[in-house]
Structure formats: structure tokens, C-alpha cells
Structure 1
Amino acid sequence: MERLQVWPEKFKKFFLNNKFVVTLLIVLLVGLTIMVFAKIPFIFKPVSVLLHTVAAPLLLSGIAYYLLNPLVDRMEKRSRIKRAYGIVILYLLIAGIVTLILLTVIPMIRTQLMGLIDNFPKYSEQIQEEFMNLTGSQLFERVQENIGTDFTDITSRVTEWGTTFLNNAVNGVGNFVGAVTEIVLALVTTPFILFYLLRDGKRLPDYLMRFIPTALQPQTRLVMSEMNSQVASYIRGQIIVSCCIGALLYIGYLIIGLEYSLVLAIVAACTAVVPYLGPAIAITPALIVALVTSPFMLVKMIIVWTVVQLVEGKFISPQIMGKSLRIHPITIIFVIIFAGKMFGVLGIILAVPGYALLKVVVTHLFQWFRFRSGLYEVIEENKE
């Protein structure tokens, strides 16, 4: 009888009173619940439609919030303008800038972009002819014999890949135009969401704290503060760095007289949002245009690109970005590749900030586990 009474006490002591085991059981139950509901598609379909509908406006509003919130704070503190009035003034200023861009810059971009698309097949043929002329020399014939590779076949494949890529891009633009309803919806709703974020964004953490148990509120507030700091520093820094790269390349391309300088600079600025891999992608169209123009233009373009990358790496990024994320470059590259494979272009763009947020959460969870489990203190005592 006594043994039968001891077993429930042991079970309660080692399982029900063990927070780690209880946490694992809760995670297991949540996983099983999700798996069961996943077998019933109509349960999650409204959720997926809702997320698909609000994802773009929330994402755009969040990025704009981190960019504009410092300006609104400064207007409120230094100029003593009420926050709502400051937001309206900022909206009017942005509307004026957007109107100016639409009237002056967009026609130039459209002209250069259409010219680049029209001339791309001709550029591919010229590059293929140049390679064929080179492969006809004795030096390249010896290289081909030693390596066992036909460079003509390589150039044909590169040309075919370029044409396929262009066709996919055109099809992507067609799909993009086909989704005009979602784009218009996102553009219309984003300013309203952004207005309330800029006005009441500081109250959001206090509101979320109502759903958190009182004992966990200090740690949760600390985690949210670190996540906010990581995302804010990355978004502001990366966009400012990208704009600087685009402006410097545009000036450099104008100095050397490279064709389609504005489009190529904009492409470089947009791809620079992706760390490390972005510049490698952006240099490809500039190399093609410079190579087709003349070998001397290719040399000048490479010099401009090298100077811009040195200025960005030595002066711009250290001053703007600093080392706030504290993520190793190899880790960033692997995270970008994995996110791109899983979620496409959106995954590539959001890979680094998403990893930074996940790193903050995992770090605090590990610290909590280390403090609660008591395992690490025992190990350190044994080492002594």
C-alpha cells in the first residue's frame, strides 16, 4: 500500500512539478493540435487569407514606421509640434517628393529600362561573338584541351540563361500587373496603418503586456525592446546604405559615361538591401553593358564599382550600421540562401532581420533555461 502511495508523489515531483518537462508537454500538445487542424484545410484557410491580405500593408507600414518615427519624434520634441500635426506635415512633404519623382525621374527610368530590355538580346549576341573570337585563338584552344571544356557551349548556355531570365522577368511583371488589386489595396491601407502606428506606436508594448503573465512581464519587455532595437537599426541602416550606394554609383556612371546609368544605379541600390549577395547580383548588368560598349569602359566601370564598395565598406556602413546585429558574414550568407530557397524573394529580403529577431528570442530562452535548470552551475562546479 505504501509503495502505491509513493508512486503518485514521485510522478508529481519529477514530472508535474518539473517546469522543463511541463513546457515540453505543452509544446508537444500544441504541435499535435496544429497537425490535426492541418488535416482539415478549411480550418486554416480563413487564417491564411487574412494573413495574405494584411501581410503586405503591415510589412510596408512597419518599414515606413522605423524610417519616419525618428523624424516625428524630433519634430515633437524640438519643434514642439503636436504628434498628429507633425505626421500630417510629414505626409504632405512625402507627397510632394513622390509627385516630383513621378514627373521627373520616372520618365527617365522608363526610357532607359525599355532601351535596356530592347537591346539585351543584341548585347547577348555581341558577348557571344566576342567569346567566339577569343576561343578561336591558340591560347584558348590549349586551355580548352587542358580543361576539357568547350567555351562556345558555355557562352551559348549563358546566353540561353540570360534570355530565359529576361522572359521570366517579363512574365513576373505580367503576374505583378495581374495582382494590381492587392497592390492598390496595400498602397491605400498602408498610409492609414502608418498614421496610427506613428501616433500610438509607443503605447503598443503596454497594450501587449496585458496579455502576458505578471511574473513574465519584465523579461518580455526586455526581449521586445531588444527586438525593436535590432529591427530598427537594421532597416534604417540598410536602406540608408543602399541609397548611398545607388547615389555614388550613379555619379560614377555619369562621370565615365556608362549607358543606362540611372537604371543600373537603381538596380544596385535595390539589390544592396540584401547583404553580401546583393552587390554580386547588381554588378552583372553593369558588366554586360560596359563589356559591350568597349573594353576600356569595362575597366572604368570596374574601377568605379571598386571605389564605391571601398567607400561603403570602410566609411558608410561602419558609421551607419556599426555592428549592431553581431552576426557573422558566413551566417548571413547561409541564412539568405536558406530563406530564399524556402520563401523566395521575400525570404531573401527578410532573412537577416528575421534571423536577428529569432536570435534574440532563442538567446533569452536559453538564458531562462540555464537559470531554471541548474545544470550549468553543476558543470562549472565540477570543473573547479
Structure 2
Amino acid sequence: MFKNFILNNRFVIFLMILLLIGLNILVFNKVSFIFTPIAVLIKTIILPIILSAIVYYLLVPIVDFFDRKGIKRIYSIIVLYLIIIGIITILIVLVIPFLRDQVMRLIESFPNLVNDVERMIEQVIGSQFLNQVQQTLNINVSDLAIQFSNQSANILDTTFTGVGNIIGSVTKTVMAIITVPFILFYLLKDGKKLPNYMLGFLPTFMRNHTFTVLKEMNKQISSYIRGQIIVSFCIGFLMFIGFEIIGLDYAPVLALIAAFTSVVPYLGPAIAITPALIIAVVTSPYMLLKLIIVWTVVQLIEGKFISPQIMGRNLHIHPITIIFIIIIAGNLFGVVGILLAVPGYAILKVITTHLFKYFQMRSHLYEAARIK
């Protein structure tokens, strides 16, 4: 009776498994101090690994191409490193000082731009309505703009001129960036051997299925990282050309903002257009109309031609799902969570899908799956 009710009852077994999981969580919570060194280790290595992986997925197609042409991987890697060093040098010497001046001018003029927009709103809908909105929300737009300008200027000055202070305060980040070239070198050189090395730790019967999961995860991550960065670069380039054509002020900075924010799907373009809209509104209604036209054309080109060709439809994630994932990840993990939300979800989706298929195969609850 006990055997039939307990051991042969799947629902009871399921409840027992949940109970064991809960007990494990409780025990681990009580002795969490034991895992503190492991947590410190993970926090130390996670940033350089993520940065190295991103650059790896961008560069490995080039290394693989030369490898197929008979050129040793180490030679192509050295040439790529020299090219990257040259590009970084050019950026530091020529581009960054120009962009810094543009950004500083935009930050310093931001309060005046906001005040101009506020005056235009007062002329259109009346100052009484605007004052009522500010009192209801308990905010002052002018004060917020001044605070934003001061904070942004301080951050920018610290970023460009206080290198010594930065190194002293964020040593971990600096060390992570320093270690990236070394990790990246060995990833590009021996990265193809890593899956087989990892599979060697698993039982033989699990290796084929695990290799399939790793291969699919690699495909999802690589297509997303390469595609999103290339799409962002294309958007920034197109926006720069459009801004220059219509004569919008701060065109390089606004195009750079559009490129960086486009890394975040769907929400990024909405964030990027905000400073451009403020500048266009202050300039003239005609400039606002031209900005809307440029933005619409760029979004159409990106949505109809660039993204389908570069990104494809590999992730198969609904846009609403992506938006909710980004919002939740941002609340939980901040900016890092926003950037890693979509690839992280893609990885979890692959793992969950294969686990569910494995459960279908092993259980008697899905007869249709067994017939297949």
C-alpha cells in the first residue's frame, strides 16, 4: 500500500522533490558565508569573461576565415590586434577630444534647452496647466535639468581627465579591461577546443545531447551579439548622415547616442530620440518635422532591410516579451542587466526547451512526444 501510494505516485514524488529543493535552499541560506569566496571569485571573473566573449564573437568569424585560407590562427590574431591598437590610437588622438567638446557643449546647454521647451509648452497650453502638473508631480523641470547638467559634467570630467582617480576607485573594472586582451587571445586561438574539453567532464551518454544544447546556445548568442552591434553601428551611421543633411546641432553626439542606445532592442530607439527631439523643438518646428522624417526613414531602413538581413529571426522572441525582460532585468541588475537581458533569456530558453523535451522523453505524461 505504501509503495503504491508513495513510490508509484508521480504527484507525491514531485512534491517530495520540491520539499528536498526547499530544504537545500534553506540549508544553503543558513550557511551562505561558506559560499562568500565563491561569490567573490564569480564577481571578479564575470566582467572580463563577458567583455572577452563579446569581442570574441565579433572577431572569431575573421579568424576562422583566414584559418580556412591556410593562415595560422596566431598570425591572423596578431594582425587583428595591431589593427585594433591602431584604431584605438586614432580614436584617442582625433575622435575622442572632438566628441568630448561636443558632449560638454550639449550638457552645458541642456538646462537652457529644457527651459526653452518649457516656455514653448507654456505658450501652447498655458503656464497654469504646466504649474499644476509640476505641483501634482512635485517636480521642477528646471531644477532637474540643472542637476542633470551638473552631474553629467562632473561624470564627464572625471571620465576624461581624472584617469588616476578612476583607477583608484574602480580597480576591478580597470583590471578586467586589462585582462580582456589576454583572455581574448586564447579564446580566439583555442576557443574551438573548449566545448570538447567541457564535455569531457560529463558522462558519455550525456555528451551528444549536451553538445547540441551548447551548439544552439552558441548560435543564439553569436547571432545576437554580432547582429545587434552591427545594426547599432548602421543606425548610428545613418542617423549621423541624416542629422548632417538637415543641419541638426550636435549631430555626431546625437548619432553616437543613437548607436549606443540601439544595443537595447525596442526601448533603445525611443530613448535615443529624446535629446534630438529637444534640440529640434528648440531650433524650429521645421527642424522638428525634418527630424521626424529622418528618424522614420532610418527606422524603416533598419526594420525592413538591415535587421532582417543581419539579425534574421534566430531568437524567435516576441517583442513584448523582450520589453518585459529588459525592464525586469534592469530593475534587478541595473545597466548590466539591460544589456545582458536578451542573450541571457535566449540561453535560458534553449536550456529550458531541451530540459522539457528530455522530460517528455523520460515521462509517460506526453504520449504524443513518445510517438515522435
> Aligned letter for 2:203?
P
Greater CA deviation, 39-48 or 298-307?
A: 39-48
Distance 2:348 2:152 in 1: 32
Whether contact under 8 Å (2:6, 2:13) holds in the other structure is no
In structure 2, what is the equivalent of residue 45 of structure 1?
36
Query: After superposition, where does 1:70-149 map in structure 2 within 5 Å?
Result: 70-78=61-69, 80-136=70-126
- Distance, in Å, in 1 between the alignment partners of 2:295 and 2:138 is 24
Equivalent residues of 1:205, 1:221 under 8 A apart? yes
User: Is 1:214 aligned with 2:204?
Assistant: yes
SS at match of 1:375: coil
Alignment counterpart, residue 361 of structure 1, candidates 336, 348, 351: 351
Q: CA RMSD in A?
A: 3.0
1:318 aligns with 2:308: yes
Find the aligned partners of 2:179 and 2:368 in 1 and give their Cα distance.
Answer: 55
Alpha-carbon contact 2:236-2:259 (below 8 Å) kept:
yes
**1:289 is matched with which residue?**
279
Point out where structure 1 has 5 or more consecutive residues left out of the alignment: 1-5
Aligned length: 363
Q: Rg: which structure is higher?
A: 1
> How much does 1:375 deviate?
1.0
Equivalent residue number for residue 204 of structure 1? 194
The CA deviation at 1:131 is 1.5
Say whether 1:56 aligns with 2:62: no
| One-letter amino acid matched to 1:284 | T
Paired residues of 2:111 and 2:149 also in contact (CA < 8 A): no
Amino acid at match of 1:361: I
Deviation at 1:380, TM superposition (A): 10
CA, structure 1 residues 380+204, in 2 after alignment: closer, same or farther (shift >3 Å)? closer
Q: Distance in 2 between matches of 1:167 and 1:48?
A: 36
Specify the alignment match of 2:8 in structure 1. Answer: 14
Label 1:237 to 1:24 Cα distance change in 2 as closer, same or farther (>3 A): farther
Query: In structure 2, how many angstroms separate the alpha carbons of the residues matched to 1:196 and 1:30?
Result: 38
The question of whether the paired residues in 2 share the 8 Å contact of 1:226 and 1:360 is answered with yes
Which stretches of structure 1, 4 residues or longer, exceed 6 Å deviation after superposition? 378-381
Native 8 Å contact 1:237 1:320 kept in 2: yes
One-letter identity of the residue aligned with 1:123:
L
Are 1:32 and 2:23 matched, yes or no?
yes
Q: Counterpart of 2:293?
A: 303
Q: CA deviation at 1:21?
A: 4.1
Structure 1 residue 160: Cα displacement: 4.4
TM-score (norm 1): 0.86
Unaligned segments of structure 2, at least 5 residues: 160-164
- Mapped pair 1:352 → 2:342: yes
1:371, CA displacement in angstroms?
A: 1.4
Aligned counterpart in structure 1 of residue 177 of structure 2, from 168, 172, 187: 187
Deviation at 1:29, TM superposition (A): 4.2
CA distance in 2, matches of 1:162, 1:342: 27
Please say if 1:242 is aligned against 2:237.
no
SS in 2 for 1:313: helix
- Cα separation, 2, equivalents of 1:23 and 1:327: 32
Following superposition, the deviation at residue 151 of structure 1 comes to 5.5
- Structure 1 SS opposite 2:221: helix
Equivalent position amino acid for 1:69 in 2:
V
Question: Is 2:270 the partner of 1:280?
Answer: yes
8 A contact 1:38–1:44 mirrored in 2: no
Partner amino acid, structure 2, of 1:356: A
Preserved CA contact (<8 Å) 1:131 1:152: no
Paired amino acid for 2:258: A
Change (3 A) 1:342 1:76: same
Cα 1:309–1:378 change in 2 (3 A) is: closer
Aligned residues of 2:264 and 2:339 also touching (Cα < 8 A): yes
Q: Any conservation in 1 of the 2:108–2:149 contact (CA below 8 Å)?
A: no
Distance in 1 (CA, whole Å) between partners of 2:370 and 2:184 is 50
1:274 partner amino acid: V
Which amino acid letter does the alignment assign opposite residue 55 of structure 1? I
Relative to structure 1, the CA distance from residue 265 to residue 28 in structure 2 (aligned partners, 3 Å threshold; closer, same or farther) is farther
Aligned AA for 2:316?
A: R
Q: Tell me if structure 1 keeps the 8 A contact 2:104–2:153.
A: no
Counterpart secondary structure, 2:201 = coil
Q: 1:374 to 1:164 in 2, by over 3 A?
A: farther
Three-state SS of the structure 2 residue aligned to 1:33 is helix
3-state SS of the aligned residue for 1:58?
A: helix
